[in-house]
Amino acid sequence: MAKRRYAIVLAAGQGTRMKSSLYKVLHPVVGKPMVEHVVDQLNHLKLSELITIVGFGAEKVKEQLGDVTKFVTQEKQLGTGHAVMQAEPLIGSAEGTTIVVCGDTPLLTKETMEALINQHEAEDAKVTILTAKLDDATGYGRIVRNTTNGVEKIVEHKDASEKERNIKEINTGTYCFDNQALFEALQHVTNDNAQGEYYLPDVIEILKDKGEKITAYQTEDYEETIGVNDRVALAKAEKLMRTRINHGHMKNGVTLIDPDHTYIGMDVTIEPDVTIYPGCTIDGNTVIKENATIGPNSEIKNCEIGSGTVLKQSVAHDSKIGENVQIGPFAHIRPLSEIGNNVRIGNFVEVKKSVFEDGSKASHLSYIGDAEVGKKVNIGCGTITVNYDGENKFKTIIEDDAFIGCNSNLIAPVTIKKGAYVAAGSTITKDVPENALSIARSRQTNKEGYVEKIKNRKNK
């Protein structure tokens, strides 16, 4: 029978090196708090129990993670060994394998975690340490090996001798333990070290001295193992995670003209043959369908964008945009808008909470808010739906085939019926009947020769 598997995530520290009022593990990497990355990956493994140790900012961390994990509070942050000990009442006597992961290693993948557990169980070891080789190992615990290349102990940077500091192999902070051996060994950990803390890595030496089997699993992908202690590492993690996401999309057939300047969130779906120009930020639950072209310099959040649509230098949030739509440059699609197929939303057009049915156009300089625009409507340059009286918002309805002349004000609530025309410069306050032409502006008068008269007056 397969062994039962448990996971413990360490997330109780304050993270003083971040110099932040936000608790360290809540700092986002590509928009998602670090600890959530870790918990999400762990949740892909078949675990009997997932326990997150919280302390600093416990309420905030719990709120963020929700019920995908159990929580145990570490009242005083006395070190990583002490943190793990807090899980004892829940799983201390259980038989099985326990993986321990730090909440500040957001790049670690489920594949690596799984490989670690598999090796651990195949070797029947008491501990398997996930290690990596780094050119600059500063700050990390070092893996001290003996003459036969077995792991002897882990020594923290602050406690390491000059010679030990030259070791390039680091403790990534992720380990697999035989659960019972772990909790037994934790009883013997002391805080006799440079930081006065109960170090979890000390368990290794304790088990070693008991003659137990200690192994290491060295990952080639050292970038996965980065521990984020300060903002420099945070920026590095952000970059690595973006690179990982962007590579995934490119491998799936998406063209990124400049992946170093393309910012795509964790939960974005992009179909093949989409092209994304530099300077785009694409976030939330966005879906972009095949053959669409996005950017340069566009911001999209929580949108669905249909195939063949082109969106340039524009912002779109929480909206649905159809197929073969032209948006921008410099358009703003605000939340709850629904744009049909073959629509054009042009330069400096702002759309808010409005529906545009198929084939309609607002090509230049308009504000369309709280409106329902039918099919094949043409909205002339400078048209404004006047939707707000200072207290309430009202709806503008423009039915199929209507034509709104330039620089019109449509004072809501108002309906422009099917096929009606509104003359340029009109301020429309009443409904316009089907197929009518509505003119709501003062008539032009030309005073012949009047300029001569003024000039003569001046010259006197």
Binding site for ligand UD1 (CB under 6 A): 10-13, 25, 53, 55, 74, 77-80, 82-83, 102-105, 140-141, 154, 156, 170-173, 199-201, 227, 229
State yes or no: residue 227 binds Ca ion (CB under 5 A). yes
Nearer to ligand UD1, 105 or 378 (CB): 105
Nearer to Ca ion, 15 or 340 (CB): 15
Q: How far is the CB of 181 from Ca ion (least distance, A)?
A: 24
Select from ligand UD1, Ca ion, none the partner in contact with residue 116, using the beta carbon and a kind-dependent cut-off of 5 to 8 Å.
none
How many chain residues bind Ca ion (CB under 5 A)?
A: 3
Nearer to ligand UD1, 79 or 328 (CB): 79
Q: In b/e form, how buried is each residue of 252-276, taking b as 16+ CB within 10 angstroms?
A: eebebeebeebbbbeebebbeebeb
CA–CA separation, 186 and 200 (whole Å) = 8
CA–CA separation, 1 and 274 (whole Å) = 47
State yes or no: residue 104 binds Ca ion (CB under 5 A). yes
Segment interacting with Ca ion, rule: CB under 5 A, options 33-41, 79-87, 113-121, 222-230: 222-230
Contact present, 339 and 354 (Cβ < 8 Å): no
Of the candidates 352, 304, 355, 305, the residue with the CA atom closest to the CA atom of residue 326: 305
Q: How far is the CB of 212 from ligand UD1 (least distance, A)?
A: 19
Nearer to Ca ion, 101 or 402 (CB): 101
Of the candidates 29, 51, 1, 169, the residue with the CA atom closest to the CA atom of residue 104: 29
State yes or no: residue 169 binds Ca ion (CB under 5 A). no
Which residue's beta carbon is nearest to the bound ligand UD1?
Answer: 141
Select from ligand UD1, Ca ion, none the partner in contact with residue 97, using the beta carbon and a kind-dependent cut-off of 5 to 8 Å.
none
φ, ψ for residue 259, nearest 5 deg: -60, -25
Q: How far is the CB of 192 from ligand UD1 (least distance, A)?
A: 13
Q: Which of 64, 229, 291, 307 forms a contact with Ca ion (CB under 5 A)? A: 229
State yes or no: residue 197 binds Ca ion (CB under 5 A). no
Q: How far is the CB of 179 from ligand UD1 (least distance, A)?
A: 18
| CB contact set of 376 (below 8 Å; sequence gap of 6+) | 358, 359, 360, 400, 401
Q: How far is the CB of 132 from ligand UD1 (least distance, A)?
A: 10
Nearer to ligand UD1, 201 or 259 (CB): 201
State yes or no: residue 275 binds Ca ion (CB under 5 A). no
Q: How far is the CB of 38 from ligand UD1 (least distance, A)?
A: 9
User: In the range 53-92, which residues lie near Ca ion by CB under 5 A?
Assistant: none
Select from Ca ion, ligand UD1, none the partner in contact with residue 295, using the beta carbon and a kind-dependent cut-off of 5 to 8 Å.
none
Contact present, 134 and 222 (Cβ < 8 Å): yes
The CB density around residue 454, as the number of other CB atoms within 10 Å, is: 9
Select from Ca ion, ligand UD1, none the partner in contact with residue 401, using the beta carbon and a kind-dependent cut-off of 5 to 8 Å.
none
Told to judge if 364 belongs to the known catalytic residues of this protein, a careful annotator would answer yes
Q: In b/e form, how buried is each residue of 105-144, taking b as 16+ CB within 10 angstroms?
A: bbbbeeebbeebbebbbeeebbbbbbbbebeebeebbbbb
Select from ligand UD1, Ca ion, none the partner in contact with residue 374, using the beta carbon and a kind-dependent cut-off of 5 to 8 Å.
none
Contact present, 96 and 48 (Cβ < 8 Å): yes
Select from ligand UD1, Ca ion, none the partner in contact with residue 316, using the beta carbon and a kind-dependent cut-off of 5 to 8 Å.
none
Q: How far is the CB of 227 from ligand UD1 (least distance, A)?
A: 2
Strands 403-404 and 414-416: unpaired
CA–CA separation, 346 and 338 (whole Å) = 16
Nearer to Ca ion, 13 or 405 (CB): 13
Q: Give the HSE-up count for residue 140: Cα atoms under 13 Å, Cβ half-sphere.
A: 30
Nearer to ligand UD1, 58 or 311 (CB): 58
Nearer to ligand UD1, 132 or 371 (CB): 132
Q: How far is the CB of 278 from ligand UD1 (least distance, A)?
A: 33
Select from Ca ion, ligand UD1, none the partner in contact with residue 199, using the beta carbon and a kind-dependent cut-off of 5 to 8 Å.
ligand UD1
Place of tokens 């919280």: 54
Catalytic residue among 157, 188, 261, 364: 364
Active site members: 364
Residues in touch with Ca ion (CB under 5 A): 104, 227, 229
